[in-house]
Each structure stands twice: as C-alpha cells, then as structure tokens.
C-alpha cells in the first residue's frame, strides 16, 4: 500500500461515505493532507432535502475528526470539477467509492482520462 502526501476523498450525499474518509486517512502520510470533496450538480437542491443535508453535515463532522477539510462545490461537469480541484490543490491520490452502476463506472473512466496518469485514483469497496 502506497502512502500519499495529499489525498482527496470524493463523497456523495450519503452517510456511508464515512468509510471512504476513514480508508483515505490511512493512505496519507503522517504529515500529509486529507481533503474531502462533494460536488453537486447545479440543478440539485440539497438544502431542501433534510436527509441529504443531514448526511453532508455528518460527513463534515467525520472529516473534522480525521483532520480533513471538506469542500462543497456546484458544477454541471462533476468529473472535470474533481480533476481541476485535484490538479489545483496538489493532490496525488483521489479516492472514490466503488459502484456497480454503469453510469458511475463511466464517470470513473472519464475522471482517469482527465487526470492523465498524473494523479492516482483508488476505488474503495
């Protein structure tokens, strides 16, 4: 298992993403940085959905427990936004959750293409 200096965890609006934050915290160097990112599409209204906003609040607290900053962004092109964020913040590992959803697998491939082997991507099951 490799150890990384700057790790970015991508989370959705589900409390189960806590496992991604915990796993990513083990992949960063002792003095490394952990960042958590949630990108919502511009058309999504997360604040009107109490369960989703509660989940994001929970993930914010979990992030703090692992000394990670959590950022929320809005964009229509989520994979490009994540890639740009990673490149602009010196990230050397992006952590994603595993999915059996074909659309999400296409997302993974798009993200890897955008990162052009400059930044590692690890999928956590």
Beta bridge partners of 38: 72
Q: Are 85 and 100 contacting, i.e. CB atoms less than 8 angstroms apart?
A: no
**CA 26 – CA 7 distance, rounded (Å):** 10
Give residue limits of the domains in the chain. 4-124
Superfamily of structural domain 4-124: HUPs (3.40.50.620)
- CA 21 vs CA 47, 71, 80, 98, 117: distances in Å: 22, 13, 21, 13, 22
pLDDT in tens, 52-102: 788 889 999 999 999 999 999 999 999 999 999 999 999 999 999 987 776
Q: How far is CA 117 from CA 15, 72, 93, 114, in A?
A: 30, 25, 11, 9
What pLDDT was estimated at residue 2?
72
pLDDT grade, residue 120 (50/70/90)? Answer: very high
* pTM, entire model: 0.90
Residue 41's pLDDT band (boundaries 50, 70, 90)? confident
Largest CA-CA distance found in the chain, in angstroms, rounded: 40
Per-residue confidence (pLDDT) for residue 47, from 0 to 100: 60
């Amino acid at each position: 298992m490799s150890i990384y200096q700057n790790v970015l965890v991508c989370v959705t609006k589900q409390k189960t993403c806590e496992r991604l934050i915990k796993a990513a915290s083990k992949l960063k160097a002792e003095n490394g940085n952990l960042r958590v990112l949630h990108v919502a599409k511009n058309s999504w209204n997360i604040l009107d959905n109490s369960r989703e906003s509660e989940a994001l609040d929970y993930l914010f607290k979990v992030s703090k427990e692992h000394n990670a900053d959590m950022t929320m962004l809005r964009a229509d092109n989520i994979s490009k936004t994540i890639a740009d964020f990673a490149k602009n913040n010196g990230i050397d590992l992006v952590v994603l959750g595993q999915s059996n959803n074909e659309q999400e697998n296409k997302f993974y491939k798009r993200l890897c293409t955008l990162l052009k082997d400059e930044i590692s991507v690890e999928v956590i099951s």
